[in-house]
A and B are shown apart, each in its own frame.
Chain A
Amino acid sequence: DAGVTQSPTHLIKTRGQQVTLRCSPKSGHDTVSWYQQALGQGPQFIFQYYEEEERQRGNFPDRFSGHQFPNYSSELNVNALLLGDSALYLCASSLEPGLNYEQYFGPGTRLTVT
């Protein structure tokens, strides 16, 4: 049973560029959440997708956007990259939000902005 997968593993971008990160949820899961983990900090919630719609959003600017596909996979897009966007981006999948289901995390994508 495949767990949560993310691609790419590492990514280096330049300030001002745009980036797309990808996530495939654990088999049977229909909800995807994205988190940003800066160095030395706990993960911070970016947004959550369910039924191809953004259900919840954390305190992140509009430069951060996402998408969920019919097969439940998801993308995180970040425009106009800033040095402060350098972080580990974690994807987590779960069953329908609002219920008693834990989130399973992928290995993350390490984004470095230079």
Chain B
Amino acid sequence: AQSVTQLGSHVSVSEGALVLLRCNYSSSVPPYLFWYVQYPNQGLQLLLKYTTGATLVKGINGFEAEFKKSETSFHLTKPSAHMSDAAEYFCAVSERGNKLVFGAGTILRVKS
């Protein structure tokens, strides 16, 4: 069975600082990996995805993530945080585009 663990339910950074949100996954088959963002009272928006190929994936709004098979990780980073990045972020894994299995989420707070 697939599973996702997001380390840190809350992360706080200063505006302009590096954002690092951690995600580790478990999968018995080569995984597809995703990061979604959710703003209050809204649905989920896809930030980026990894399926095959290049392990460093670039997404929207300056976010990127690196697939590390040996560490079973898919951490999300952004070099410089902006106030508008404050939201909840979800890491998810799927088998070949079928059901998504989500982590519990990380709430990102950006301090001015």
Q: Do the beta carbons of A104 and B97 come within 8 Å of each other? A: no
Residue-wise, chain A 102-114 has the 8 Å CB interface mask toward B (1 for contact) of 1111111000000
Does B90 lie at the interface of the complex (its beta carbon under 8 Å from any beta carbon of A)?
A: yes
Please tell me which one of the listed residues B49, B98, B105 contacts residue A42 in the complex, with CB atoms under 8 A apart. Answer: B105
* A69-100 to B contact mask, C-beta < 8 Å, 1/0: 00000000000000000000010101001111
Q: B34-65 interface mask toward A, CB cutoff 8 Å, 1 = contact, 0 = none?
A: 10100000111110010110000000000000
Cβ-Cβ contact count across A and B, 8 Å cutoff = 62
The B contact surface, by secondary structure, is strand
Contact B104 A104 (CB under 8 A): no
- Assuming the A-B contacts A41-B105, A42-B105, A100-B51, are A56 and B42 also in contact, with contact meaning beta carbons closer than 8 angstroms in the complex? no
- Contact A105–B99 (Cβ < 8 Å): no
A33 within 8 A of B: yes
Whether the pair B90, A90 counts as a contact (CB closer than 8 A) is no
Instruction: Judge whether B101 is part of the interface by a CB distance below 8 angstroms.
Output: yes
Whether A107 and B105, one on each chain, are in contact in the complex, defined by CB atoms closer than 8 angstroms, is: no
The answer to whether A43 and B90 have CB atoms under 8 Å apart is yes
CB under 8 Å from chain A, chain B span 67-112: 90, 92, 96-105
Contacts of B45 in A (CB 8 A): 105
Identify 13 new A-B residue pairs, CB closer than 8 A, beyond the known A43-B102, A100-B32, A100-B52: A33-B99, A42-B4, A45-B99, A48-B98, A56-B99, A92-B44, A97-B98, A99-B97, A100-B96, A102-B49, A103-B46, A104-B46, A105-B36
